[in-house]
Amino acid sequence: MDTPIDFKFLEESVAKKHNPKFGDREYLVIQTYPLGKTTRVVYRSYDYQEAERLSNLENLSHDYSSFATRIYHDDKLWIPGNISGIPYKISEQQVWKIHPDYKFRDVDGEIEICSCSYLYFAGGTEILTCLENDNGRSITLCPNCGISLKQDEDEEDDDDDDDYTPLACLGCSNYDGEFYGDNQLICAIHPYGCGSDFCPDFVP
Ligand SMILES: [Zn+2]
């Protein structure tokens, strides 16, 4: 395990995959459906064609989830231009950073996900922004996509409040799923998920 070759492998691929900081113009293959409270990045590359190829493969191999390529630029996710791969238009899906005030479970209310991926805080009577750079502002429309955000919880499906649990992790005793800061830990073996619907390390 401590041979120079293993160490090199660790640096180049593993370390890169687990480094939460994205580089400028780095392509990210993200899950666009279903949405979770953290953006699930399944693949990272500086090669647009490679990212597109892997995004298509993910879509072909998952029946109930969708994936798309985005490019990280100026601290935001962009939709890459079809052929060029350069940032073309701002993506509705972003890596939202929740304000530290909301990282504890004892706040009175819930972080909700808009259909566009935007995270907001639904308190008792108010809907508030809850992001690091835009916090505590009372809103009625989604600042990201403009749809009306509902305050009425009656129509809501209870399942909507659950954190995203990957299909492969349902019933696995290794599954964690808790949030540590902005990041949801899937499990100790696959911190970001195993990337498939069947995990080789599944423990009933
Ligand atoms: Zn929205």
pLDDT, tens digit (0-9, with 9 covering 90-100), for 53-92: 999 999 999 989 999 999 999 999 999 999 899 999 999 9
Other beta carbons less than 10 A from residue 140's beta carbon: 10
Distance of CA 61 to the CA centre of its chain: 19
Ligand 1 center–CA 117 separation, angstroms: 6
For ligand 1, the distance from its centroid to the CA atom of residue 143, given in whole angstroms, is 7
Comparing C-alpha atoms, which of 19, 20, 25 is closest to residue 74?
25
Q: What is the pLDDT of residues 156-181, one digit of tens each?
A: 444 444 467 888 888 898 888 887 77
Tokens of 60: 């072909």
Residue 141: Cβ within 10 Å count: 12
Q: Measured on CA atoms in the order 162, 168, 170, 173, is the torsion positive or negative?
A: negative
Whats the size of the chain, residue-wise?
204
Q: Identify residues whose C-beta is under 5 A from ligand 1, the ion.
A: 114, 116, 118, 142, 144-145
Query: What separation in Å is there between the alpha carbon of 199 and the centre of ligand 1?
Result: 32
d(CA 30, CA 32): 6
Distance CA 35, CA 113 (A): 8
Q: Using an 8 Å Cβ cutoff, are 92 and 105 in contact?
A: no
* Alpha carbon of 106 to ligand 1 centroid (Å): 25
Q: Give the DSSP H or E segment for 6.
A: helix 4-9
Q: Evaluate the CA torsion angle 66, 71, 74, 75 in order and state its sign.
A: positive
Q: What is the C-alpha separation between 59 and 88, in angstroms, rounded?
A: 22
Region 18-41: mean pLDDT is: 88
Position 103 pLDDT exceeds 90:
no
